[in-house]
Amino acid sequence: MQSNILKILLILMISTFSIVEAKDNCAPEFNLAKPTSIIQQENKDSTDKSVFIYFDQSLSMQGYTKNQPGHNNLYVNVIDDLQQIAENVGSKTYYHSFGKSIVPIKENKISQVIKPSFYECTGSAADCNNQESKIHLPFKMAKANPDGTYIIVTDLFLSSKQLVGGTLSQLTKPLKSILKKGKSVGIIGVMSSFNGTIYDIPTNEGGTVSYTEAQKRPFYIIVIGNQKEINQIKKNLEEQHFSDPEDKYKYSLITSTPILQNLNEKKLITENNISSKVTKAENFKFDYIEETLPVYKFDIRNKSKSIKFKIKNSDIIVKGSNGVSNFKIENTLWSSKEDRCSKINDDDWKKDKRLSISKIIQNEQELTLSMFSEVPLKKIFWGRKYFYLVDIYAEKPGNASEETFKEWSVRDAEAEEFKDGNPVEFKTLNLTKIIKILNSVANDEFQPTLIASLALNFNLLK
C-alpha cells in the first residue's frame, strides 16, 4: 500500500515538473518546420572504388604537350601525377581517350598522353579520334556507373552548335541523373604553357580559322564524384602543382546541394549567433526546446533597434559551390497581454497577421537576419510578452562559378576579333555558356532547403 502511494506521489511530482517546465518555456502552440533532406552520396570505401580517367584527344590538345620557353608546362606536370592522385581516391584506375568515341588506354601506355604523337592520326580523318571532342560521352559513362569517380581532362573548347538542341541534351540528361544521385561536378581550370595550334575558332562569316601564336592557354580537369573526393583531388593538385604564386588556376563545384547542413540538427546555433543587445539584456536565457529549437529569452525596451542574428557562410554553404542567391524567411509573431509565463494560457496567445517582419542581408562572409527591421519594436505594443518564431530557407542557388571563369571565356561572336588581337594567353570558347548550362541543370534539381529555425521569447518594456 505504502509502495503504491509513493508511486502516485512520484507520478504527481513528475507531472507537476512537466507542467511547470512547459509553462517556463512560455510558448504558444506551433509546429516545427521539418528539416529538408540534404542528399549527398555516401562515400564508398576506397578499397572498393574504381576511378575512370578520360583524356580529350582532339588535335588542339597537342599544344599542351610541347614546352613553351619561359612558361611553366603545368599540363605535363599534372598528367604525370594524375595516376598517383587517382590512387588516393580508388583502388583501381581505368584510362581512356575520347574524341568522336571512347577508346581504352592500357596502363603501360599512359605516358603517351603527354607526347605530341598521342594526338596525331595517320589514317583518314573519318577514322581518326582527334577531329571531335564529344565531352558528353564520359558523362554518359558516369550516369551508367554512379559508384565510380570520373576525371575528364579537356580544353572545353566547344562551339555553339555543340551547346544547343539534341547535342546539348546528350550532356544535360546524364548530368541531371548524376546530380539526382547526390554526386557533384568539380571543375578545375589550369592556365598552362601552350605551343601549338588552336583549331575551329569561329569567324563572323560562318567558317573557322586556326591560331598558332598563343603561349598560354587553360585546360580543365572535370571531376564527377562525391564532394569529399572532388575536394581531395583539388587539394592534392594545389599542394603538388599550384604552390607558385604565378600559377593560375580556378575552381568551382557544380552541385544541386550547395547547402552544407541544417544548423538545428546538431544544435550548432548558440547565444553567440545573436547580437549583444539580446545577450546583455535583462533576464537573458538561452536554451533549446522541442529538442532542436533554440530560444532566446530576455526583456527588451521598445526603443531598441533591430536585432541581428548572424550565420557564417562557411557553416551553411558547401565550399567552392555556387552558394545561394536568394533566401526566404517564414515567420510568425505571437503576443500575450500577460507578461508572466505562469499566467499565460494557450488561448492568451494572439497571432500577428503581419508577415514581413524581418529581412535577410547577405555578404561574402555571413548571412544576417535583421529581425524587426520591417516592423520596428517601437511599432508594436509594449507591456506584453512576445514569441517570435523564424525559419530561414535557402530558396535559389547562386552563380558564383560563372563569375569565377568569366575572364577565361570568349563568345563565338567575339572569337575572331580576339584572335586578331594576337593574344599570348588564349581564352576558352563559350566557357561561360558551358558553366551556365551546368549551373542550370544543377538549379533545376535544387530543392528549397531549411537552414535554421530559431525563436525569441521576450517581454517588451516601455
pLDDT, position 176: 93
Say yes or no: 355 and 425 in one domain.
no
Say yes or no: 222 and 357 in one domain.
no
Give the Cβ contact number of residue 244 at 10 Å: 9
Query: How many helices, marked H, and strands, marked E, lie in the chain?
Result: 10, 20
Cell 581532362, residue located: 153
Say yes or no: 196 and 90 in one domain.
yes
Say yes or no: 155 and 298 in one domain.
no
What is the distance between the alpha carbons of residues 373 and 368, in angstroms, rounded to a whole number?
12
Cell 505594443, residue located: 381
Say yes or no: 235 and 277 in one domain.
no
Say yes or no: 271 and 418 in one domain.
no
Q: Count of domains in the chain?
A: 2
Give the Cβ contact number of residue 273 at 10 Å: 22
Q: Give this prediction's pTM.
A: 0.84
Q: Is residue 21 part of a domain?
A: no
List beta partners, residue 359: 370
Say yes or no: 361 and 423 in one domain.
no
Identify the burial level of 236 via C-beta atoms within 10 angstroms of its C-beta, where 0-12 means exposed, 13-18 middle and 19 or more buried.
Answer: middle
Q: Is residue 206 part of a domain?
A: yes
Say yes or no: 333 and 422 in one domain.
no
Positions in the chain short of pLDDT 70 = 1-25, 39-47
Q: Is residue 78 part of a domain?
A: yes
Q: Is residue 100 part of a domain?
A: yes
Say yes or no: 291 and 391 in one domain.
yes
pLDDT, position 369: 97
Say yes or no: 308 and 249 in one domain.
no
pLDDT, position 83: 84
Say yes or no: 54 and 181 in one domain.
yes
* Residue 200 domain boundaries: 46-257+399-445
Q: Is residue 3 part of a domain?
A: no
Closest among 239, 210, 229, 266 to 62, alpha carbons compared:
210
User: What one-character-per-residue DSSP string does 46-104 give?
Assistant: GGG-EEEEEEE--GGGGGGGS--TTS--HHHHHHHHHHHHHHTT-SEEEEEEESSSEEE
pLDDT, position 25: 60
Q: Is residue 191 part of a domain?
A: yes
Say yes or no: 384 and 427 in one domain.
no
Q: Is residue 438 part of a domain?
A: yes
Closest among 178, 184, 209, 124 to 416, alpha carbons compared:
209
What is the distance between the alpha carbons of residues 220 and 233, in angstroms, rounded to a whole number?
13
Asked if 152 and 434 count as a contact pair (C-beta separation under 8 A), the reply is no
